[in-house]
Structure 1
Amino acid sequence: MSAPSHDDDQLKLEIFDSFSKTVMRNASRNFAAAAKTRKKNESVNTDIVQYILKTHGENAVYPSEHFIDAGNGYCCVVATEWLYQAMLLLPPKQKEVV
């Protein structure tokens, strides 16, 4: 077996260079296409929609979805059951603080 010649090494380098450039070009095109699609389909971040959501949007609190603890004359809306259970275990002084 003979050692590879200078021409063989040069050919391998050219093939690798061509492959690398093709991969980078395809990745760049894919990134640009994904950004274009995201921009085209994204409507929530427009200024008008953000303004409408900020001024007219509201978070509805339904009593059936939240626990309400009215201890010592104070009302507290608790969003999760595990937090409600934890608050029941608190001493009265700590409940007042919360």
Structure 2
Amino acid sequence: MDKYTEIHEKLDFLLEDHGVKFDDSRLDKQTLHSLHVKADKLLKAHKCTIPEGDESVGALQPKLDMLISGHGKRFDDSGLDLKNLDTVIEKLKVLTDAHGEHRKD
């Protein structure tokens, strides 16, 4: 599975778990734009202000950090490359795990 597909699967899970209906059929899922659109939808579901920025991997980081913090979790990315999709995947794992923990309650 390529990185974009893995990221979209995690974002789709989180959107669905928040009850957000989202039609991504018009998005090119192999673009950073598509990842930002979904991250922004998650931020709106959490009633967060969407941070300004371009559509780079680095600009996804503060969005994911806000979501992680909003779930009461922490993630130390100080040793990671914030311009790499692998870092996005690691942060999304924290978020999907947080949702799994919530379901166990």
Question: TM-score normalised to the size of structure 2?
Answer: 0.21
**Structure (1 or 2) with the greater strand fraction:** 1
Higher-RCO chain (CA-CA 8 Å, sequence separation at least 6)? 2
In our comparison, the structure showing a higher alpha carbon Rg is: 1
| Structure with a larger share of its residues in helix | 1
* TM, length-normalised to structure 1: 0.22
